[in-house]
Amino acid sequence: MDERPLISHAWSTFRALAAATTRVGVTAVTFFFIGNLEAQAEGRGQPPPAIGRVPVPLPPSRPRETPAPLPEAPPLAKAEEAAPKAAEAYPALCVERLAKLGVKLEPRPAITDGLCGAQHPFRLSNLPDGIEASPAAEVGCPMAEAFARWVDEVVEPEAKTHLGLAAKTIQIGTSYQCRGQNRVSTAKLSEHAFANAVDVMGFTFDKGPPLPVKERSIDTPEGRFQAAVKSRACAYFTTVLGPGSDATHTDHLHLDLRARKGGYRVCQ
């Protein structure tokens, strides 16, 4: 048997196999490379760290959906109004202080009227020095005390100073009433709704005509009396409105004890 053709055949076979193996290898590497690029594009694969380069951090992924906006917080005043009122103790010390001033309060039943009301309202008619509140006001004790002190320490002496008269009656308009501020039903509740406000319509004296609250010139004794009792009321109440304040207070003095953050007062 001739060995040369056999060797030649074996060599040819080996070369053919080697060539085929190389083609398969290149194809496999090509498929692997393309596959890896696609994987990177889809975010499934991680590129190898580049040598000598600082990796750049990827931006945070975007949320799939934009979150719905948060509901608006209710206005502060409405939140305060909606909060249940804590039970108030009977204002025994306040009643006692008023008794020392000569003011006898008549307790009234608790007022419960939706968001309006008062746990310990009183009927206030007799004031210091024989002065009357007419008609009687229905107020809580703190308001009764502030009002009685204002009449005793301001109204009576100012009547003597400017008019030479003794105050006899404080004419009352609204005291307790369940309503919004300035009688606007959609407005924040007035302090009248909590028996914490009194509207003064005018004054009477031991002689002479009544003195209704209205726009008055301070060039007159009546005007100076009204201006004095109004401005000095700011030391007793946290809200004082009247002629010169706004269009809804041209004919009375609105006095209340609204509690505001930081002890802020309205004195106009």
Q: Which residues of this chain interact with Zn ion, rule CB under 5 A? A: 199, 254
CB of 115 vs Zn ion, minimal distance in Å = 17
What is the distance, to the nearest Å, from the Cα of residue 162 to the centroid of all Cα atoms in its chain? 42
CB of 183 vs Zn ion, minimal distance in Å = 9
Which of 251, 121, 265, 255 has its CA nearest to residue 191? 255
Using the minimum distance from each CB to Zn ion, give the nearer residue, 196 or 204.
196
Using the minimum distance from each CB to Zn ion, give the nearer residue, 145 or 199.
199
Find where tokens 């008019």 sit: 163
CB of 200 vs Zn ion, minimal distance in Å = 9
Those residues whose C-beta lies under 8 Å from the C-beta of residue 250, and which sit 6 or more positions away, are: 214, 215, 243
CB of 199 vs Zn ion, minimal distance in Å = 4
Using the minimum distance from each CB to Zn ion, give the nearer residue, 165 or 255.
255
Q: Where are the beta strands (DSSP E) in 59-100?
A: none
Let me know how long the chain is: 268
Using the minimum distance from each CB to Zn ion, give the nearer residue, 141 or 200.
200
Those residues whose C-beta lies under 8 Å from the C-beta of residue 63, and which sit 6 or more positions away, are: none
- Ramachandran angles phi, psi of 24, nearest 5°: -60, -40
Which of 165, 163, 157, 154 has its CA nearest to residue 253? 154
Using the minimum distance from each CB to Zn ion, give the nearer residue, 45 or 135.
135
CB of 194 vs Zn ion, minimal distance in Å = 12
Cβ-proximal residue to Zn ion, closest one: 254
